[in-house]
Amino acid sequence: MKILVLGASGQLGHCLKNVSEERGDTNISFPSEQEGNILDINLLDILFAKEKPEFVINCAAYTAVDKAEDDIDICRKVNRDGAENIAKACAKHNATLIHISTDFVFKGNIPQILSETNPAEPENIYGLTKLEGEVAISDVLEKHFTLRTSWLYSEYGNNFVKTMLRLGSERDQLGVIVDQTGSPTYAIDLAGAILDIIESGSTAYGIYHYSNEGVTSWFDFARTIFDISNTTVKVNPVKTSEYITRAVRPAYSVMDKTKIKTTFGIQIPYWRDSLEVCIKKLV
């Protein structure tokens, strides 16, 4: 079956290339951002007509969370309008869409495991536009899987793990947020889950949650990164109230993965185990 990946230049796109090559999947294409411009529905129509995909994976997103508070228009164009354009192209060309969303659609103000049926109440522009993208897709396309994920990292692109490793080599100590709790997600694991869903042949469309198993804070995540990488640096706990950012983050955004595990039989690794795999590739 033919698979088309949009937003292929980001870390998840790179991970999909990696995992598909390891699995020997050759019928998957990664067009450039220019060829697969999600803001140009006519270009998408041309691309879909040429590639004739059965599945489309949308990795494209505006993810600069703080900058989004000021760049509202472009953030919305990418996260809402772009997602809608892809869904319309999928509907026209009879393709199934796998769309990547975020835990930031939740308010995250109480320590409660979040299921797919919990109300989405985003507190920042990034989360709001990602939610608008989810809604836009569901309005025009039945055949879609929306995967909400969290705290994504890998050996590719810019992410928390690579930032901590860099800062740890430059400084003796640093402060990290201690009162925001979630689940780190290795993008390689997410890429594998996406391909597993495609290979399952399932038509159980809808919203699913995916992150690695387990729960941690950014503070303990950082300390674990330094522990695994044998980096000597003092990590100081910092409260959110002491580190003001442009965008509000969820204090607790741990997602329930029961639905994706039972529907597709997916085995999800524990976050520290996956982190060890990633760091071994980086150091």
Residues annotated as catalytic are 126
Point out which residues pair with 96 in neighbouring strands.
55
Place of tokens 């975020």: 102
User: Which three-class secondary structure state does DSSP give residue 20?
Assistant: helix
Rounded Cα gap, residues 266 and 283, in angstroms: 29
CA 73 to chain centre: 21
Rounded Cα gap, residues 91 and 172, in angstroms: 54
Cβ-Cβ contacts under 8 Å for 152 (sequence gap 6 or more): 11, 12, 159, 185, 187, 190
Q: In one letter, which amino acid is 142?
A: E
Within a 10 A sphere around the Cβ of 267, how many other Cβ atoms? 11
Helix (H) or strand (E) holding 46: helix 41-51
Q: Are the beta carbons of 62 and 75 closer than 8 angstroms?
A: yes
> In sequence order, what E strands does 184-233 have?
185-186, 206-209, 216-217
Which among 38, 82, 9, 28 is positioned nearest to 194, based on CA atoms? 28
